[in-house]
């Protein structure tokens, strides 16, 4: 399906409007209307979708798909459908349009639960989580919350229990260029991270990172151990180190890897086996002292309930942009809290979904650490970007998602 660049700026039949209408926080006229009639039920009246080209390095995928929900009081809410690495986004855009037309337009943005349930159940009582529909639901949920926050003058985290964390610990990826050939480089790079103020990092030492399940040779595992040893020798306990994998191990292979790397006290072992078989992940968790982390490919509370109930993981890496949105993420975080599990949200997305994760982190008592995987465009696209300083994120204090799109940058990056 070919995509007309201007087609993303408005759906068919909508009145023409400038791009800037969706860029700012609550317009003064809208604020006056809300103040004058606080009980007036705000309605969603339309929507826009925009596809943007990312810049190199293409962190968070090459294409970003943004959603703007418009209201009858002039407030515009921002959302993002995480593209998942797809380059031709026509089907994703069409699904968002169909969902908005059939369920969202005409509703109050405050009715987030009802909208979510209607989207989840339709068409024909669908009620089946999946990475095709659920990320679109996440985008709509984010945009609704952004509207509600702007209408009430509050950041989203204040509407979900209030600010629990003043700062959010974040982790970075270790630069692994040349590390396999020279493990000593890992120690040098770890020391550089500590100098930057980082206290947590992750690396993906087992290649290839997709496919499987497979076993790795003892020679390969011992070589990875040399990389970890170089890091521990260089920084001691000043830096937590996570084992990043993508479910490419067999169950027995994952247990073997864990047993040989336990001496380095890894922060977590991410997705040691694929998430389809939770029982096998639980077997790995029962055989190691390394905390098991999973969740980036899981969606809705229902899939996470099985992981928690079977004690398959103690660190939940939910992806706010994929699992069902902010409200669903808060439910998953609360379920995790009841199992004494921590959340470490996944972040490989565009900037709007990233800002939604920050809102969740801020109000979640069991927040552990936030992946912060960004490039320059993640900052340039906002008037006041979310940044990391000395290893910590300071939550924004503005209403809604707390971010405002930079109109000039958006126009520059619009995809042809």
Vertex 61 angle, CA 135 and 199, to 5°: 95
Asked whether the predicted pLDDT for residue 316 surpasses 50, the reply is yes
> How is residue 379 written in tokens?
């900052």
Q: Is 246 a catalytic residue?
A: yes
The predicted model gives 105-115 an average pLDDT of 98
**Contact between 104 and 79 (Cβ < 8 Å):** no
Residues in a beta bridge with 38:
none
243 forms beta bridges with: 203, 269
Q: Give residue 138's pLDDT.
A: 98
Q: State whether the Cα torsion 13-17-20-22 is positive or negative.
A: negative
Residue 279 has pLDDT above 60, yes or no: yes
Residue-wise pLDDT tens digits, 222-253: 999 999 999 999 999 999 999 999 999 999 99
What letter does residue 101 receive in the DSSP assignment? I
Dist. CA 315–CA 337, nearest whole Å: 10
pLDDT digits over 118-175, tens only?
Answer: 999 988 777 888 999 999 999 999 999 999 999 999 999 999 999 999 999 999 999 9
Q: Which residues contact 332 (CB under 8 A, 6 or more apart)?
A: 301, 304, 316, 318, 323, 343
- Distances from the Cα of 405 to the Cα of 160, 186, 413, angstroms: 24, 37, 12
Q: pLDDT at residue 288 above 70?
A: yes
Q: 243: helix, coil or strand?
A: strand
> Of the residues 61, 124, 223, 346, which is catalytic?
346
Segment 280-294 shows an average pLDDT of: 98
Query: Could you tell me which of 83, 237, 244, 87 has the C-alpha nearest to residue 174?
Result: 244
pLDDT given at position 25: 61
Bigger pLDDT: 209 vs 10: 209
The mean of the pLDDT values for the chain is 92
Question: What are residue 297's phi and psi, to 5 degrees?
Answer: -105, 10
346 is catalytic: yes
Tokens 């209403």, residue located? 399
End-to-end CA distance of the chain: 13
What is the spatial distance between Cα 272 and Cα 244, in angstroms, rounded to a whole number?
9
Q: What is the pLDDT of residues 8-61, one digit of tens each?
A: 444 433 333 445 544 556 666 666 655 554 435 899 999 999 999 999 999 999
Over residues 308-332, the mean pLDDT reads 98
pTM for the structure as a whole: 0.92
For 350, counting Cβ atoms within 10 Å of its Cβ (0-12 exposed, 13-18 middle, 19+ buried), the class is buried
Give the list of residues 6+ apart from residue 329 with CB closer than 8 angstroms, or none: 318, 320, 323, 345, 356, 357, 360
Q: Which pLDDT score is estimated for 129? A: 80
* CA–CA separation, 238 and 139 (whole Å): 37
Superfamily covering domain 5-153: Enolase-like, N-terminal domain (3.30.390.10)
Peptide bond into 57 cis (omega under 30): yes
Residue pair 148/110 in contact by the 8 Å Cβ criterion: yes
User: Within 10 A of 116 (CB to CB), how many other CB atoms are there?
Assistant: 21
Q: Sketch the domain layout of the chain as residue ranges.
A: 5-153, 159-401
Same fold, 5-153 and 159-401: no
Closest of 105, 181, 171 to residue 143, by C-alpha:
105
pLDDT of residue 413: 98
Residues found in the chain = 416
The pLDDT score that the predictor gives to residue 4 is 47
Considering the chain, what percentage of its residues have pLDDT values greater than 90?
87
Counting residues of the chain whose pLDDT is more than 70, the rounded percentage is 90
Arch. (CATH architecture) of 159-401: Alpha-Beta Barrel (3.20)
| Contact indicator for 122, 367 with CB cutoff of 8 Å | no
Where is pLDDT greater, at 91 or 29?
91
Burial of 128 (0-12, 13-18, 19+ CB in 10 A): exposed
Selected catalytic residue, list 97, 124, 165, 246: 246
């Amino acid at each position: 399906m070919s995509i007309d660049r201007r087609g993303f700026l408005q759906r068919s039949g909508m009145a023409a409007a400038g791009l800037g209408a969706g860029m700012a926080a609550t317009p003064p006229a809208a604020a006056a209307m809300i103040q004058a009639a606080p009980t007036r039920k705000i309605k969603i009246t339309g929507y826009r979708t925009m596809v943007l080209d990312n810049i190199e390095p293409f962190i968070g995928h090459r294409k970003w798909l943004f959603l703007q929900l418009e209201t009858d009081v002039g407030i515009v809410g921002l959302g993002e459908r995480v593209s998942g690495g797809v380059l031709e986004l026509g089907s994703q855009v069409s699904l968002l349009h169909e969902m908005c037309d059939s369920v969202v337009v005409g509703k109050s943005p405050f009715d987030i639960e009802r909208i979510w349930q209607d989207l989840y159940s339709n068409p024909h009582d669908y009620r089946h989580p999946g990475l095709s529909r659920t990320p679109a639901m996440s985008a709509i949920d984010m945009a609704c919350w952004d509207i509600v926050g702007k209408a009430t003058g509050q950041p989203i985290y204040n509407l979900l229990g209030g600010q629990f964390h003043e700062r959010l610990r974040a982790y970075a990826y270790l630069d692994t260029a040349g590390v396999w050939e020279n493990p000593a480089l890992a120690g040098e790079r770890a020391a550089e991270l500590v100098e930057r103020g980082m206290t947590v990092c992750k690396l993906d030492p087992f290649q290839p990172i997709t496919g499987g399940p497979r076993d790795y040779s003892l020679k390969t595992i011992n070589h990875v151990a040399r990389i970890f040893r170089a890091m521990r020798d260089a920084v001691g306990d000043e830096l937590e180190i996570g084992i990043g994998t993508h479910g490419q191990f067999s169950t027995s292979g994952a247990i073997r890897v864990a047993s040989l790397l336990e001496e380095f006290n890894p922060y977590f072992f991410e997705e040691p086996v694929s998430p389809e078989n939770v029982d096998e992940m639980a077997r790995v968790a029962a055989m190691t002292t390394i905390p098991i982390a999973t969740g980036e490919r899981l969606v809705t509370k229902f899939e996470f309930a099985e992981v928690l109930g079977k004690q398959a993981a103690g660190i939940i890496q939910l992806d706010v942009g994929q699992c069902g949105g902010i409200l669903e993420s808060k439910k998953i975080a609360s379920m995790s809290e009841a199992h004494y599990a921590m959340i470490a949200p996944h972040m490989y997305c565009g900037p709007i979904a990233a800002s939604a994760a920050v809102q969740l982190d801020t109000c979640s008592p069991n927040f552990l650490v936030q992946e912060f995987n960004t490039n320059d465009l993640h900052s340039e696209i906002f008037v006041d970007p979310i940044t990391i300083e000395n290893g910590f994120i300071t939550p924004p204090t503005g209403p809604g998602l707390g971010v405002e799109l930079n109109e000039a940058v958006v126009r520059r990056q619009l995809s042809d």
